[in-house]
Structure 1
Amino acid sequence: MGSLDRSKKKIQLWKKALLHFVLCFVTGFFTGFAPPSAVNLFSASAVERSPVVVVVPAASIKAAEHVVEPAGSTANRSLEGISRSVLVPTVNDVDPPPPHEGSNVGGAEEKSPHPRERLLILVTTVRRDDRFQGAFLRRLAHTLRLVPPPLLWIVVQAHEDAAATAAMLRTTGVMYRHLTFKENFTDPEAEADHQRNVALSHVEYHRLTGIVHFAGASNVYDLQFFEDIRDVEAFGTWPVAIVSSNRKRVAVDGPVCNSSKVQGWILKDLSYDNRLLITGTDMSPKPRKLNISGFAFNSSILWDPERWGRPTSLPDTSQDSIKFVHEVILEDETKLKGIPADCSRIMVWHLDTPSILSLPFHSKNQGRR
């Protein structure tokens, strides 16, 4: 009887072992069909990867952007850091934009972010048939990589020229949105204004709350500039040094300030005198021509003008946002804040380069032939 009981116990142990083996095999077999993303489901922390936005046609501005995360990216840019300011909808998201900042939700008013946490929205327009544009964009991208987040770079250009730029933007490590348009223009100024309107319409529709600056592709910046414009509450302005392509002419265009208050405007040629001596004849009450690279403004002026003392029933505001911004800037200098204090430092240089340069050596070589 003892030997019979022992044999029965051995058979039961083998059955249990076989059942355990079958269960483990079935579990492992079906686990192989699970998606790869499930591996990180229970991980303590996920690796941050830089989101890159594909080209968004400007004609369908209500269409949501598609966010792509390239594999292997090590940049520390993340949409999570500016989730309060930037809307990132899914492909099928057609809901209206979120309410503007300051709206009451549950009886509590949303507080404005700290100046150092404000989103910088830098808009760059790309001219057609400009052979230097690719080099300028890449140089500007290297500058923007050094700027602490949050920062969003909006690049606007014609649809047919967007492929090469899109490939370059994906390698910059800067969070960006690439907008395109299909309209044709013969006037470069009209095309530039249209590009700015495309960018401002995108900012307005998605309620991108931050400080907007039109960063020209050929501009050169002091990194401290990007920190200073985060302090802008409504509108900011600063002097810009304009350098010609032959390096024989330098002019300063911008405000004359007293304790960050604008006193007047100058456009002074410094080609033969590096001392900026300002007389009463140099100043004018209004700028001769508005240099858009010398201004920044709070984006909420586009959808909440009453917050900044503007009427809401303004004609053509949504159709021509850049014209609206021009009018606000020129209307009242008291709303402008000089950057830096006293506007005593040049932090933005604009390189004025023509789209077509003559090549003297080429004509000489042809003459020898």
Structure 2
Amino acid sequence: MSRVVCLTDRGTTQDRMFNKKRFFLILLIVVPVTLLLPVSYHTTIAPFFGARRDIGTREMVALRTVPHPQERNKEHCTNNVYVRPPPWSHSLPTIYVITPTYTRVVQKADLTRMSNTLLHVANLHWIVVEDADNKTSLVGNLLNSTGLNYTHLNVHVVEKITSRGSRQRNVALKWLRDTFRLNDSHHGVVFFGDDDNTYSLQLFDEMRYTEKVSVWPVGFTGAMRYQSIKVNALGKVYGWETRYAGTRPFAIDMAGFAVNLKLLLSKSKANFRVYNVGTGQQETRFLQDLVTINDLEPKADNCTKVLVWHTRTTKPPAFKSQGDPNIET
């Protein structure tokens, strides 16, 4: 009888030893995994929530809180996207992007695409000028939802003019001259960006420190794969690569240059001609009021890189159904 008890005690002891080994084995697996979790969090998630340390890098600044699917509403419609532009830096010149726009089927789509690009650019102010009697809610609501710094203007162009968008650009130039004074310490650059173009983010870095007028190539324009500027070995502009009216003093596309804000303020008469200006002459006449060819600053690796393209949105085919007229497209 005592022998049986001894065997039983030995079995119990072995079971305890086995359980202890299993317990320590589990600890060896669980503890390292637990210690690695904070490292994983900081390397894969934390950067998206962290504050920007360097204005030269582009990080996600903030994310929307995404509720339970059943609790979602129109204010929680995006996830893992930019909800505001990079923090403002007082050490960077401001880029003022002037964009004429007009009512059409693809207007909201074009403005949305452009705003998604501009959201990545630090110290940017978007001046959108509608061709309309009154500012439309479509454009106003879109601008307000982007989180961008913006100014919303309008002017209705009733009469036929030579160049679409010229009067709108002039309204934006007037706003800049009314807002800033030449002796202000504010530094900036002005760029004329249409809402149907495509822009590389590098383009905005290139133009930011423009001293007078900076220039670069433009893709898909003037019946060419790209229209460019001739630059000599000393980095000076001496001509134009274009198929149309190459003898123009400034044979350049509207998307192919930027102007220093102080230069614009000092040249109060510089505006876009509205009447009696031939095709391709708007840019030339405007730039003639500002600089000479010797003042031009070639960007984009001495004008060897294309950073902006004319990519007009194709008009959708005829709709077989209009759907709910209250839903914007």
Deviation at 1:283, TM superposition (A): 9.9
Contact 1:145 1:174 (C-alpha < 8 Å) held by counterparts: yes
The TM-score normalised by the length of structure 1 is: 0.53
Write out aligned runs for 1:243-258 (5 A): 251-258=225-232
CA distance in 2 between counterparts of 1:156 and 1:164 reads 13
3-state DSSP of counterpart to 1:139: helix
Contact 1:260 1:343 (C-alpha < 8 Å) held by counterparts: no
Deviation at 1:159, TM superposition (A): 3.5
Query: Corresponding residue for 2:211?
Result: 233
Residue 286 of structure 1, aligned match among 220, 226, 248? 248
Taking only the aligned residue pairs, the percentage that are identical comes to: 25
Asked if 1:137 is matched to 2:116, the reply is no
Deviation at 1:289, TM superposition (A): 5.1
Q: CA RMSD in A?
A: 3.6
Contact 2:215 2:299 (C-alpha < 8 Å) held by counterparts: yes
1:38-73 deviation per Cα after TM superposition (whole angstroms, max 9, x unaligned): xxxxxxxxxxx99xxxxxxxxxxxxxxxxxxxx999
Residue 151 of structure 1, aligned match among 124, 148, 155? 124
Flag structure 1 segments of 5+ consecutive residues without an equivalent. Answer: 1-48, 51-70, 83-113, 269-281, 306-311, 363-369
Write out aligned runs for 1:183-332 (5 A): 183-187=157-161, 189-207=162-180, 209-242=187-220, 251-258=225-232, 259-267=234-242, 284-286=246-248, 290-305=252-267, 316-317=269-270, 325-328=286-289, 332=292
CA distance in 2 between counterparts of 1:327 and 1:143 reads 30
Deviation at 1:241, TM superposition (A): 0.4
3-state DSSP of counterpart to 1:122: strand
Query: Corresponding residue for 1:338?
Result: 298
Contact 1:241 1:346 (C-alpha < 8 Å) held by counterparts: yes
Contact 1:219 1:349 (C-alpha < 8 Å) held by counterparts: yes
Flag structure 2 segments of 5+ consecutive residues without an equivalent. Answer: 1-60, 63-74, 77-81, 181-185, 275-281, 321-329
Asked if 1:177 is matched to 2:154, the reply is no
The TM-score normalised by the length of structure 2 is: 0.59
Report the CA distance shift for 1:131/1:77 in structure 2 as closer, same or farther (over 3 A): same
3-state DSSP of counterpart to 2:172: helix
Structure 2 residue identity aligned to 1:145: L
CA distance in 2 between counterparts of 1:284 and 1:190 reads 19
CA distance in 2 between counterparts of 1:162 and 1:290 reads 32
Structure 1 residue identity aligned to 2:288: E
Deviation at 1:260, TM superposition (A): 3.5
Structure 2 residue identity aligned to 1:75: R
Structure 2 residue identity aligned to 1:325: F
